[in-house]
Amino acid sequence: MREIYLDNAATTKTEPEVVEIMNKVMLEDFGNPSSKHKKGVEAEKYVRNAAEIISGIMKTSAKEIVFTSGATESNNMAIFGTVQKRKRYGDHIITSAIEHASVREPFLELEKQGYRVTFVETDNNGVINMDALKAALDDKTILVSIMHVNNETGVIQPLEDIGSTVKSFNKDIIFHVDAVQSFGKLPVRPKKYQADLLSVSAHKFHGPKGAGFLYIKDGTGIEPFIYGGGQQNKMRSGTENTPGIAGLGKASEIAYSDETQMKIQHLSDIRTDFIKSLESIEGVRVNSTASDIFAPHVVSATFKGLRSEVLLHSLEEEGIYISSGSACSSNRPGLSFALSALGLNKTEVESTVRFSFSKYTTEDELKVCIEVLKEKVPFLRQFIRR
C-alpha cells in the first residue's frame, strides 16, 4: 500500500546520510570521547564538529552548545537549572498559555514548589499578547520561556519583540526559547532574540531520536541537574551519545543546505494550496491560515461533527498518517491549550487534526490526501449520532 506520512511535527524520517555517519561511529569510531587515546580523540572530534556546525548555523559559539537527549531534557534543564541558580533573586516565572508539555509541566511543578507562575494569554491566532507579557513582568521575575513555533498550530511567535520587551524591563531576566519546531525549517538566531537559552531536538528535522541540544549563552548561569564526570564543561555529566551527536550535526548541516531550504520554501506554496482545498470541504475550519505568522510545515483543521481519532484511523486505513494532537501529550489526554487559545470549544478541539509536512512531502501526496478526505468525511458523517 502507498504510504503518505503527514505527521512530521511528531517525528521525521531519518536522513540516509545521518544513518551512515551514525553507523560509522558505532562500528568504527566507537571510542569514549573522554578517553585520551586515539579512539577517544576520534570520537571527540564528532562531538566538536557537531557543535561547530550548529553554532555556525545559529551564529553563536561552539562552547555555547550542550548536547542532551532531546527537547524534553533541554527544556527541563533550562527551566529547572535557571530557577535553581537564580532563586535568591526572585520567585516569579513566565511562560505562554500554549507551550508544549515539556515546558508547561515543569512550570506547574515549580508552582507546586511555591513559585509564582504566569501563563500569558495569546490572541485568536495564538500569538502571545505583548501587553499581557509587559504587565506580567515584575521585579521578582527571573525566567521567561516562550516557544518559537507552536507544535499544534504552527503559529510563529515574535521572538525579537518578546526578547526586547523582557530585556528592556530587566536584562538579568533569563529568556528561554523552545525552538524544537522551528530549527531546520526557519532561521534560528538566539542573539537576535536576546535569548539566553534555546532548545532543539534532532528527530524533528530528519536526525536521530534521543539527541538534541541546549544553547546556553556564554555567561548565563544555570545549575546542572546531572552530576558525575564533568563532561560538557560540567553542564551535563555522562558519556556523550557520540553516534546521536554525530547524526544531529549531520542532520543540522543538511537542514540548512541551500537545497533543503529551497524545498522548505516550496512547502509554503503547496501548504497554501492544501489549505484552500481543505476549506472547500463542507464543515472544515482551518486553524492555521496561509498567513506568514504560521510555519510552512503545520496545518491544523477542525472537521465539524467528526472525532479526530475516527478521522485519523480512517485515513490510516488508506495509508495516510496524520495526528490528532501533540504526540508528546498522548499519554496525558486533556483539552489542548493551544487549540483552546484559538477560541475552539471542547467539541471543536476533539474534532481537530494536524497535518504536518517535511521536505519530502510532495504536491501529489497532498492532492491524494484531499481526494481521500472528500470521500471519507461525508461518509463518516453519516454515522454521527443525531
Strand partners, 155: 294
Backbone angles phi, psi at 147, to 5 degrees: -75, 155
Q: Which helix (H) or strand (E) holds 178?
A: strand 174-178
Give CA–CA dist 202/183, Å, rounded.
9
Select from 94, 69, 71, 70 the least CA-distant residue to 82. Answer: 94
Give CA–CA dist 317/146, Å, rounded.
37
Q: Which of 327, 328, 368, 370 is catalytic?
A: 328
Answer whether 23's CB lies under 8 Å from 250's CB.
no
Select from 99, 94, 205 the least CA-distant residue to 141. Answer: 94
- DSSP single-letter state for residue 298: E
Strand partners, 200: 213
For residue 134 the three cell numbers come to 509587559
Ramachandran region, residue 37 (left: φ > 0; alpha: ψ -120 to 50; beta: rest)? beta
Answer whether 27's CB lies under 8 Å from 242's CB.
no
Give CA–CA dist 126/128, Å, rounded.
6
CA dihedral (300, 302, 308, 311) in degrees, to 10, reads -100
**Residue 328 is among the residues annotated as catalytic for this protein:** yes
Q: Which residues are catalytic, by number? A: 328
